[in-house]
Structure 1
């Protein structure tokens, strides 16, 4: 299983729209994908309720893990989503 530590840059954390985009991206993977706060219990990254329940906030670090074919490419995509700030509303 491949894993990455990523700091959440979105000012709303891993909530609302960023969480939905994260879960939608994770759901495309054929294998298991998890996300956890360091030292915390990993949750299913394909479940919006599990991801929202983590209460991951701006500036916090999370560990994302994936297995199966294309795991590193998937982690690249998930890391990119978490590493960019949410665009300002117009």
Structure 2
């Protein structure tokens, strides 16, 4: 299994779809309750739009990224990953 993210497409603020190297695709939703600490900057819709794929991770400037293995497991099981 290869859980590296190869593509991210924004749906809206705090929502996007991902495609993994193994072809799996799914949706990620970040609830406002998850946006504290390092993730607090993602509250800004303009900053959120700077999401990109870096070395298999969904990333934002300032070394903010999401764990692709946890994302892959949740999407494989439920079709989406909700961070709350």
Range of TM-score over shorter length: 0.3 to 0.5
Higher strand proportion:
2
TM-score normalised to the size of structure 2?
0.33
TM-score calculated relative to the size of structure 1: 0.32
Greater relative contact order (Cα < 8 A, sep 6+):
1
